[in-house]
Amino acid sequence: MKTLIEGRFVVAFDGSEHRLIGNGVVVVEGSKIVHVGKSYTGTVDKRIDATNKVVIPGLINIHCHASSPLTKSLRGDVSNRQLYNSDLFDRFILMPTTSKEDLLSAEFTYAELLRGGCTTIVDCGLGGWPNDQAVKLAEKIGIRAYLLKEYNSGYWKTNDGKRVFFDNFDGEKWNDEPGLKELEKVVDYIREINGKYGDRIRSMLHPGTQLTCSPSLLRETRRLANELKTGIQIHVAESVLEFHETLRRYAKTPIEVLADTGLLGPDLIVAHALFIAGHSKVGYPDPWEKDIQLIANSHTSVAHCPVTFSRSGVGLESYSKYLRAGINVGIGTDTFPQDMFREMNAASTISKIKEQEVAVATCRDVFDSATISGAKALGRNDIGRIQVGAKADIAIINLHTFNMSPLRDPIRNLVMCATRNDVDMVMVDGRIVVEDGVVTSVNENNLATRMQSAAEKLWERWQEVDPRHRSIDDMTPLSLKYWID
């Protein structure tokens, strides 16, 4: 089937950069784009009238945790100052969720992202539920997905809220056996999943965090990535505590550990990479350029998730500096909200504030990060662009809204003003998955109702499973007290 989309604006890719076509057309046949231009004289089976809309490539989210919706309405405004205000260690990272709740959260997340024009995701949040359920869910929702299973040498815990301890770690050396066994299972999973559903579902290696993976586990990850020809994603430099714990263990920064183990490379995505040498929060004398050049020279990509960290008052220092250093920076949503428009806006705004300069972190920069840079991080040249031969992953944005009108520059309006409510239609692999602003594969009201019920059950049992036996109200007080007659 051949479909012609007529747009008021089309953001098309000319082979090296995005270009704007006024009153342009895109022709889709099957799962691919077969024509882009000002007009088309061939025959088509279907026409989509987007003459009051802008047609853009589907956005690419290179780092998200599908289990995160259940932390919504809990995180923010409070944290553990003893642990540098990071939520990682003492609050929400070890969510006491069931596999059923994780699957429901993933359904919610995938639908939420599609609704906001995101067509490709890297989900780092798969729980213990069976592999085939994850694949079937991504197929049902209709999103292009990299479904990652995490493995570690051990994991952190804090029983008193004052100190962090690590399983399978004696203070100096890791016990590698558990991590290597988990890695073997992940390799089997990758071989099983890659190429599913017309190659729309893939996976990659995912050593969870630099802090919880031994150097030998990271070296084995590099060896297997080369053997399997698959990508890698790891959390690194995401907390001040991680930075100083790594210095204590290895006399190296977290980025230096990745360099020394051979993990850095063009097939690696480092999630966050905030707290590097030279960051104002780490109090470390080595200059900023020390770590940044290791990332840039190795052609490693960074997954930038500004909204999550802004809630704790921190951020990259800064996004635009990473770009100027030559680093490929993609955009991720991490936890919540799963909203790529909000992330693009935050990436631009926060970087301008950090550098006190208006001309940095431009709307074009962050739009590129959310499209072609995300594709580059995944080693792909067939997504994140509207180009002949590319996958037909497309989002269509309504221009007749308060956010998008009046309009002269579509990219500025998209980054500075747009929200997911402006998205009218989304197509993945040539299949329409959002139509008239509604995700076609789910009942949004029913899904929200099920999420609310799951969250309330989780809050009820929180105190039983929390290591410090805190109630949900103790850990996260309400912003407002209830009315008392």
Residues 317 and 344 in one domain: yes
Sequence-separated (6 or more) residues with CB below 8 Å from residue 432: 425, 426, 440
pLDDT of 94 strictly over 70: no
C-beta of residue 154 within 8 angstroms of C-beta of residue 181: no
Residues 126 and 218 in one domain: yes
User: Which of 350, 377, 404 finishes a domain?
Assistant: 377
Assess if residue 478 is contained within a domain.
no
52/81 same-domain check: no
The answer to the question of residue 265 being in a domain is yes
**Are both 118 and 252 inside the same structural domain?**
yes
Mark whether 190 and 277 lie in a shared domain.
Answer: yes
pLDDT band at 127 (very low <50, low <70, confident <90, very high): low
Arithmetic mean of pLDDT, 390-398: 98
Distance of CA 352 to the CA centre of its chain: 22
d(Cα 431, Cα 438) in Å, to the nearest integer? 14
Residue 464 lies inside a defined structural domain of this protein: no
Confidence of residue 407 (pLDDT cuts 50, 70, 90): very high
pLDDT at 374 over 60: yes
Mean pLDDT, residues 346-356: 97
Domain that holds residue 162: 59-377
The answer to whether residues 72 and 122 belong to one domain is yes
Report the domain count for the chain: 2
pLDDT grade, residue 286 (50/70/90)?
A: confident
394 and 345 part of one domain:
no
pTM of the model: 0.97
Give residue 92's pLDDT.
63
3-class state of residue 263 by DSSP: coil
pLDDT score for 96: 74
Helices (H), 52-176: 99-115, 131-141
Residue 484 lies in a domain: no
Q: Please give the mean pLDDT across all residues of the chain.
A: 94
* Tens of pLDDT, residues 23-57: 999 999 999 999 999 999 999 999 999 999 999 99
By percentage, how much of the chain surpasses pLDDT 90?
A: 79
Mean pLDDT of the 212-238 span = 97
> pLDDT value at position 128?
55
Q: Are residues 64 and 160 in the same domain?
A: yes
> How far is residue 447 from each of residues 113, 442, 459, measured CA to CA in Å?
14, 7, 18
153 or 162: which carries more pLDDT confidence?
153
- The yes-or-no verdict on residue 424 having pLDDT over 90 is yes
If one counts every other C-beta atom within 10 angstroms of the C-beta of residue 349, the result is: 16
In a domain, 220, yes or no: yes
Give the contacts of 367 (CB within 8 A, at least 6 positions apart).
Answer: 18, 344, 411, 414, 415
In this predicted structure, what is the pLDDT of residue 130? Answer: 55
- Res. 273: pLDDT tops 80: yes
